Amino acid sequence: MKALVYHGTKDVSVDSVPDAKIEKPTDVVVKITTTNICGSDLHMYEGRTTVAKGTVLGHENLGRVEEVGNAVDTVKVGDYVCLPFNIGCGFCANCERGLTGFCLTCAEPGSAGAAYGFAGMGPYSGGQAEYLRVPYADFNCLQLPSDVKEKENDYVMLSDIFPTGWHATRLAGIKPGDSIVIYGAGPVGLMAGISANIQGASKVIIVDQHPDRLKLAEKIGAVAIDDSTGDAVEKVLALTEGLGADCGCEAVGYQCQDHHGHEVPNLTMNNLVKSVKATGGIGVVGVFLPKDPEASNAMAKKGQIAFDFGSFWIKGQKIGTGQANVKAYNRKLRDLIAAGKAKPSIIVSHELPLDQAAAAYKNFDDRKNGWTKVILKPAA
């Protein structure tokens, strides 16, 4: 089959690789019809992770079930399913509590969870490919309704960015009537904005520097703050009576850049402490990694940042971190899409066949204006 393979820094190509197949009776194989390129794929693309050369990337996957293992009960050939990017077993101590991003069965020793085609998340191949092996299929496959063909670009966002955006707002503890500030108007930040709107936020403020992304923030009804002059915190405070927003989200991660284009890994975290009110909650879903071999200084190489802990403490703020437990949210978010109350595909800018994936990575990585979210159609 054809798949997008990582060969090294900024070197990916669509190659012929061995077909995905049933390895355990609890597996299914899915023919991928839509798979996204994610902002977190770019950390790997840029050589800023420990992902192995030869890995097939792609953790945002949707498709049609092609083959079913003998022990699979509810998933049938022909079903359209969306796969959570994190792989859970359904029966370990963490999965039982809904913490499927931290599955103890699927994670390898020394890693905190499992995912398709992702650095440090186990040996699972990704779905930027014609076919994908799905372990523990009864648990992991989210069944999609009969309008899947017309809303496929919406439902595919259930694999990661919509639940991740939602998770950010839950970690931040948003309540109806709250104001919220979100750093990052990339796909996840925008999904956090949509999630905040659905949960009754009185004001959604989204900070970024890219005009195309800021335009999308406005399109979802947020106040878009352009940080290209570096004064985002002042602007947020001016919009929140000088107190800061009730809560905030981080949707950028460790490769965040200041308004001069320099990487400053602690920038969004410290700006959040400043622009969220005392006692407010902060949800951090942007990716931070324990190792960044290509970082420019010793601290960053170890995944450490200089965090304004004193200000954070004196303000009595709370922080929640980590990847989204997709299974905790995806069923209800699917129902919001089906009911026409959420339309996450609003952010899609490019829909391409798989064989254009390598060029798409380059354009997306260059933050080329207008490349806000790329989806690939391997079956087209």
Least Å from the CB of residue 86 to Zn ion: 10
Rounded to an integer, what distance in angstroms lies between the CA atom of residue 232 and that of residue 250? 14
Q: d(Cα 115, Cα 38) in Å, to the nearest integer?
A: 13
Residues 188, 192, 198, 204: is their CA dihedral positive or negative? Answer: negative
Pick the stretch among 20-28, 54-62, 74-82, 276-284 that binds Zn ion (CB under 5 A).
54-62
Q: Of the listed pieces 158-166, 222-230, 262-270, 323-331, which binds Zn ion according to CB under 5 A?
A: 158-166
Q: Does 105 bind Zn ion (CB under 5 A)?
A: yes
Which lies closer to Zn ion via its Cβ, residue 58 or residue 248? 58
Binding of residue 34 to Zn ion (CB under 5 A)? no
The residue nearest Zn ion at its CB is 38
Q: Spell out the residues 6+ positions from residue 45 whose beta carbon is closer than 8 angstroms to its own.
A: 6, 9, 10, 12, 57, 361, 365
What is the smallest separation between the CB atom of 90 and Zn ion, expressed in angstroms?
A: 6
Locate 253 and state its tokens.
């991660």
Q: What is the DSSP string of 309-334?
A: HHHHHHTT-EEEES---GGGTHHHHH
Residue in 103, 196, 205, 216 binding Zn ion, rule: CB under 5 A: 103
Report the distance separating Cα 188 and Cα 89, nearest Å: 25
The residue (of 19 and 96) whose beta carbon lies closer to Zn ion is 96
CA–CA dist 289, 19 (Å, integer): 31
347 binds Zn ion (CB under 5 A): no
Q: Is 88 in the site for Zn ion (CB under 5 A)?
A: yes
Residue 38 within binding range of Zn ion, rule CB under 5 A: yes
Regarding 92 and contact with Zn ion (CB under 5 A), the answer is yes
- CA angle at residue 325 from 140 to 364, to 5 degrees? 90
Question: Cβ 243 to Zn ion, closest distance in Å?
Answer: 33
Region near Zn ion per CB under 5 A, out of 93-101, 118-126, 146-154, 287-295:
93-101
**Residues 126 and 116: beta-carbon distance below 8 Å:** yes
160 binds Zn ion (CB under 5 A): yes
Residues that bind Zn ion (CB under 5 A): 38, 40, 60, 88-89, 92, 95, 103, 105, 160
